[in-house]
Structure 1
Amino acid sequence: MTSTPARPLRADAERTVRTILEAAERVLNRNPSASMEEIASAAGVARTTVHRRFATREALVTTMKSWASTQLASAVDEARFETAPPLVALYQATANALQVKLSWGFSMNSALAASSESDEIMGGVVASCDRLFARLQKAGVLRADVDLIWVRRVYYALLHEVAQSSDPDETDTDTLATQVVDTLLRGVGSPNAQL
């Protein structure tokens, strides 16, 4: 027996799913125990519409996590890690990642959903970051003796802390990105690193 691949959603159905995901992010970010009915109300759709798209709350949260991971991967790709000067790519990736993390905070930090899809997407993001940090080290921006995995962990911790402590509606991601990059490089940067 062969399985038929899932058909792509029509444009209107795709918009509805995105509306539900965005509403769920807002609602669950404020109240993690909010009901599917509250999410439907915030999305401006009937509860049955939410249940038609997401059979369970867990399915909704899993989809939210995958959606947010995809947004983060796209944001990182837009920083052109492979071709932009390494410091420019680091700054742009930081600003882009903060924008996603601030917009999709519940989804990015949800331990409620196990998703091999989001894990795979995030594995690609980690690999891209590792390549960027290797480029930064080769360019002399990071000291030669610094453990790059440790640098990535510190960088992720900085991103996480900034995203957790910032109000998404009142935040200038460019200023925050500058603070993150400055903090990272002054801690592990070579003395001649220029910002």
Structure 2
Amino acid sequence: MTETRLRADSARTVLTILEAAERILSSKPTATMEEIAAAAGVARTTVHRRFATREALIAALATWAAQQLSDAVDAARPDSTPPLVALYQATTNVLAVKLSWGFAMDASVAPGNEADRIKANVVDRCDQLFARLADVGILRPDVTPLWARRVYYALLHEVCQDAAAHPDTELDTDAVATQLVETLLHGVGTPGTSL
């Protein structure tokens, strides 16, 4: 076997373990390394060779998910695409990641880890996108980009919580993203209603 193929096989094995860990830990947060190995279809020693401890596995899982989140935002091209288009696309992409990697996204890991660094970069990118939305007049002048981003994050959180409470219901991420952005920009009241 060539060195390149060995590295590719190793990367596939790690991804298989991480995907199995997400599935198992989502339904049983106290699952053991042995249970994760069984779900991944690999020997327990294979898991331990890649991850010395359960904590190391969870940290790697959180980092993997955070990177997927970052890639999802990048794929929307928030710096160059018209800001409203970027917001819709980023929302669809982010929902797909958050719904697939729910345990990992909320995993508790040691402070200052790689996942936190990646997530902080995602927040910065989102803040820049919301500043662009304000600059082109999509946000009302009396709404700060920071406030809009916080409301947006709260809406994302609620969608994910609802999906976790109803795991057997398949979500159309495009439709949910559209509803989420429409709710963010127009609220839930009828048109013309004001204080």
Query: What TM-score results when the alignment is normalised by the length of structure 2?
Result: 0.88
Whole-angstrom CA distance in 2 between matches of 1:165 and 1:94: 16
Report the counterpart of residue 74 of structure 2 in structure 1.
77
- Residues 10-29 of structure 1: pairs in structure 2 closer than 5 A: 10-29=7-26
| Deviation of 1:139 (Å) | 1.1
1:164 aligns with 2:161: yes
Q: What percentage of aligned pairs have identical amino acids?
A: 64
Q: Verify: 1:59 aligned to 2:56, yes or no.
A: yes
SS at match of 1:176: helix
Query: What CA distance in whole angstroms lies between the structure 2 residues aligned with 1:89 and 1:171?
Result: 21
Counterpart for residue 186 of structure 2: 186
User: Does the aligned pair in 2 maintain the 1:129–1:152 contact within 8 Å?
Assistant: yes
Moved more, 109-118 or 16-25: 109-118
Q: Which residue of 2 aligns with 1:41?
A: 38
Q: CA deviation at 1:164?
A: 1.7
User: 1:115-170: per-residue Cα shift (whole Å, max 9, x none)?
Assistant: 52111111111111111111111111101221221211111111111012113871
CA distance in 1, matches of 2:39, 2:112: 25
CA-based RMSD of the aligned residues comes to: 1.7
The answer to whether residue 95 in structure 2 is matched with residue 98 in structure 1 is: yes
2:124 is matched with which residue? 127
When residues 26 and 169 of structure 1 are mapped into structure 2, their CA distance, relative to the original with a 3 A threshold, is farther
Q: Match of 1:152? A: 149
Paired position in structure 1 for 2:173:
173
Q: Distance in 2 between matches of 1:143 and 1:86?
A: 15
Aligned AA (1:69): A
Contact persistence 1:62–1:115 (CA under 8 A): no
In structure 1, what residue type is equivalent to 2:158?
Answer: E
- Structure 2 unaligned regions, length at least 5: 1-5
CA shift for structure 1 position 111: 2.1
| Counterpart among 12, 27, 32 of residue 29 in structure 2 | 32
**SS in structure 2 at match of 1:12:** helix
Task: Kindly state the Cα deviation for residue 185 of structure 1 after the two structures are TM-superposed.
Answer: 0.5
| Aligned-partner Cα distance in 2 for 1:113–1:79 | 30
Partner of residue 5, structure 1: none
Mapped to 1, the partners of 2:57 and 2:104 lie a distance apart of 10
Q: Aligned equivalents of 2:68 and 2:19: distance in 1? A: 12
Query: Whole-Å Cα distance in 2 between the matches of residues 59 and 48 of structure 1?
Result: 15
Between the aligned partners of 2:60 and 2:103, the Cα distance in structure 1 is 12
Residues of 2 paired with 1:54 and 1:114: CA distance?
19
For residues 31 and 165 of structure 1, the distance between their equivalents in structure 2, rounded to whole angstroms, comes to 19
